[in-house]
Chains A and B, each alone.
Chain A
Amino acid sequence: MADKFISIEGIAKRYPGAGGATTTIFENLWLSMARGEFCCVIGHSGCGKTTVLNILAGLDAPSEGAVIVDGQAISGTSLDRAVIFQSHALLPWRTVLGNVAYAVSSKWRSWDRAKVRAHAQKFIDLVGLSGAEHKRPSELSGGMKQRVGIARALSITPKMMLMDEPFSALDALTRGTLQDEVRRICLETGQTAFMITHDVDEAIYLADKIFLMTNGPGAVLAEVVENPLPRDRGRTDLHRHPLYYALRNHIIDFLVTRSKTFTTEKPDHDPRNVPTVQIGKPGLSIASDAKPEAPRETSWPGLSRPSTSS
């Protein structure tokens, strides 16, 4: 990919372990994202997903390597990179408006109160929280709190959004609605998004590219899976797409078995040139194991459903 808006170049994270030994969470990790791309990272707990996100955010520094955003190596946090925290991280002593306004006034320090409020209000309206501006976070439901977190992140008009399992603490219904909204907002504003998730369906619905990470410690980025689903996919008919199950099975197979065995099975894995998997294009795919994905999908009953019913 020619356009590398974000490029993670050979980063490593090591922690001093017991008895002078060091624990390597991951090392020599390379990945890149194009402008406006929505990327999801999937991997088991402990593979360093959150560490990668924190390094991208600037909250954590890599032990080695560098992160380049828009042609510049990052050092520390930036208002260009907004973070949506898993636990929403709202300031409980501030109202909804106060929380968003805090971010707005941090970005534009010379703005007066009225201007800050008006700008914050715009983003509260955007996430559908009009009328709840003066409520405190304790008076909001989990989904509403996360909406405030999204409004706060968007209000500073960042170049990219970093999301650490933003919907994992929500019930399925709320999660679905918020996924729709995040997808809509990201498409409308052309956000570049980096999201950690454990939910395979969430990744398939939201992501353009899915990064699969092996188990830690010593985790590596095993594959980059390109989402074959069209960009204007909808939540309700997602599973009717002929490549949906192939994609889903590929990811689940990885999580269930290959994430454990990948490093031993592929000793020649080059972390600088991670294979890109293009499901549905067998000629182009560089699937890491010999199992071809495309022929197998014909045997799935789900595949014939759209053609017979419609």
Chain B
Amino acid sequence: MMTTSLRLRAGLVSLVLLAAFLGIWHLATRSTAQVTTMSPEYAKLMGLTATQGKSAMPGPLDVGAKLWEHLKRPFYDNGPNDKGLGIQLGYSIARVGTGYLLAVLVAIPLGFLIGMSPLLSKALDPFIQVLKPISPLAWMPLALYTIKDSSISAIFVIFICSIWPMLLNTVFGVATVRKEWINVARTLEVGTVRRAFTVILPAAAPTILTGMRISIGIAWLVIVAAEMLVGGTGIGYFVWNEWNNLSITNVIIAILLIGIVGMLLDQILARFTRMVTFPE
């Protein structure tokens, strides 16, 4: 009862804030400048800003109309520089997905090994400490030079940026499994492999999933920048291309969509985390 009314009120406040934001945006970008008379030929060159006093910044209605256009045809393909937003987002999600899954495949088994072996943990620690703070984009030239393929290079950059949170969280989760749970398995003469799957994995799963959630967030942050660099396809490339086209409307739409996709990715991982979390 209490919680439903709280949620209702919070939703209401959110709507009011959204309406206020859109209203201020609309007022700030409405036509105010003086209209100068000029020859029609010249007016065509000058654009609406000079002829009708329209603001150079698009208003919410312009963005809404353009967004509707995009939503009606998300998957059109008119050649390299004109593809639907659905296609561009699809490219980005595919790159993030591939790089991220590769990172999962490497980070979790490796993290298990490091977490279970104090020797490996100590031996590999300096490498991890040095590699972890490197900006993923710094790898880009090296990746382009060695891989010689811009799309795969972008995937590599996603791989390298999403591996660290997962690796470190897996190591931490595995290394800090409660001694008493390990002892239970030991007194029951459970073998190493079965122990890893029946005790260590479930015990470390919430920590591992938290690492995976951090990683997907970072991967989605990095893909936009990576695609701006490598070009060709993807939502990052779309943003940069529309900036070159001076289409601020499309840039705003892209920003909005990047936010929404990032939120959805985070929600999916949050749901997985809840599934493996156990109350104590």
Which A residues have a C-beta under 8 Å from some C-beta of B?
Answer: 57-59, 77-79, 81-83, 85, 87, 89, 91-93, 102-103, 106-107, 136-138, 156
Contact: B181 with A79, CB < 8 Å?
no
Q: 9 tightest A-B contacts by CB?
A: A89-B180, A106-B188, A138-B279, A93-B278, A92-B278, A93-B202, A83-B187, A77-B187, A77-B186
B205, closest chain A residue (CB) = A93
Q: Which of B178, B181, B183, B189 contacts A106 (CB 8 A)?
A: B189
B279, closest chain A residue (CB) = A138
B183, closest chain A residue (CB) = A59
Q: How many angstroms between the C-alpha atoms of A89 and B203 in the bound complex?
A: 12
Question: Contacts A102-B198, A106-B189: A91 and B280 contacting too (C-beta < 8 A)?
Answer: no
Question: Using a CB-CB cutoff of 8 Å, which residues 212-228 of chain B contact chain A?
Answer: none
Q: How many angstroms between the C-alpha atoms of A92 and B278 in the bound complex?
A: 6
Contact: A59 with B186, CB < 8 Å?
yes
Contact: B280 with A83, CB < 8 Å?
no
Q: With a CB–CB cut-off of 8 A, which chain A residues contact B180? A: 85, 87, 89
Q: How many angstroms between the C-alpha atoms of A103 and B187 in the bound complex?
A: 9
Contact: A102 with B279, CB < 8 Å?
no
Question: Using a CB-CB cutoff of 8 Å, which residues 171-209 of chain B contact chain A?
Answer: 178, 180-181, 183-184, 186-190, 198-199, 202-203
Q: With a CB–CB cut-off of 8 A, which chain B residues contact A103? A: 188
A152, closest chain B residue (CB) = B184
Q: With a CB–CB cut-off of 8 A, which chain B residues contact A93? A: 202-203, 276, 278
Q: How many angstroms between the C-alpha atoms of A79 and B188 in the bound complex?
A: 5
Q: With a CB–CB cut-off of 8 A, which chain B residues contact A82? A: 187
Contact: B188 with A89, CB < 8 Å?
no
Q: With a CB–CB cut-off of 8 A, which chain B residues contact A59? A: 183, 186-187
Q: How many angstroms between the C-alpha atoms of A85 and B179 in the bound complex?
A: 11
Q: How many angstroms between the C-alpha atoms of A77 and B183 in the bound complex?
A: 9
Q: With a CB–CB cut-off of 8 A, which chain B residues contact A106? A: 188-190
Q: How many angstroms between the C-alpha atoms of A138 and B278 in the bound complex?
A: 9
Q: How many angstroms between the C-alpha atoms of A89 and B182 in the bound complex?
A: 9
Q: With a CB–CB cut-off of 8 A, which chain A residues contact B202? A: 91, 93
A-B contact pairs, 13 of them (CB 8 A): A58-B187, A59-B186, A77-B186, A77-B188, A82-B187, A85-B180, A85-B183, A89-B180, A89-B181, A103-B188, A106-B190, A136-B278, A138-B278
What is the distance, in angstroms, from A48's C-beta to the closest C-beta of chain B? 18
Contact: A83 with B278, CB < 8 Å?
no
Q: With a CB–CB cut-off of 8 A, which chain A residues contact B198? A: 102
Q: A59-B186, A78-B189, A85-B180 are in contact. List 20 more A-B contacts (CB 8 A).
A: A58-B186, A77-B186, A77-B187, A79-B187, A79-B188, A81-B187, A83-B183, A85-B183, A85-B184, A87-B180, A89-B180, A89-B181, A89-B184, A91-B181, A91-B202, A92-B278, A93-B276, A136-B278, A136-B279, A138-B279
Q: With a CB–CB cut-off of 8 A, which chain A residues contact B279? A: 92, 136, 138
Q: With a CB–CB cut-off of 8 A, which chain B residues contact A107? A: 188
Q: With a CB–CB cut-off of 8 A, which chain B residues contact A91? A: 181, 184, 199, 202-203
B195, closest chain A residue (CB) = A106
A58, A83, A87, A136: residue with the most chain B Cβ atoms closer than 10 Å = A83
What is the distance, in angstroms, from A98's C-beta to the closest C-beta of chain B? 10
Q: How many angstroms between the C-alpha atoms of A107 and B187 in the bound complex?
A: 10
What is the distance, in angstroms, from A81's C-beta to the closest C-beta of chain B? 7
What is the distance, in angstroms, from A140's C-beta to the closest C-beta of chain B? 11
B201, closest chain A residue (CB) = A93
Contact: A92 with B189, CB < 8 Å?
no
Q: How many angstroms between the C-alpha atoms of A83 and B180 in the bound complex?
A: 11
Contact: B189 with A79, CB < 8 Å?
yes
Cβ proximity bits B255-274 to A, threshold 8 Å, 1 near / 0 not = 00000000000000000000
Q: How many angstroms between the C-alpha atoms of A296 and B76 in the bound complex?
A: 102
A58, A78, A87, A102: residue with the most chain B Cβ atoms closer than 10 Å = A102
Q: How many angstroms between the C-alpha atoms of A77 and B178 in the bound complex?
A: 18
Q: How many angstroms between the C-alpha atoms of A87 and B184 in the bound complex?
A: 11
Q: With a CB–CB cut-off of 8 A, which chain A residues contact B184? A: 83, 85, 89, 91
What is the distance, in angstroms, from B185's C-beta to the closest C-beta of chain A? 8
Q: With a CB–CB cut-off of 8 A, which chain B residues contact A58? A: 186-187
What is the distance, in angstroms, from A71's C-beta to the closest C-beta of chain B? 20
Cβ proximity bits B79-114 to A, threshold 8 Å, 1 near / 0 not = 000000000000000000000000000000000000
What is the distance, in angstroms, from A248's C-beta to the closest C-beta of chain B? 32
Q: With a CB–CB cut-off of 8 A, which chain B residues contact A102? A: 188, 198
Q: How many angstroms between the C-alpha atoms of A102 and B280 in the bound complex?
A: 18
Q: With a CB–CB cut-off of 8 A, which chain A residues contact B187? A: 57-59, 77, 79, 81-83
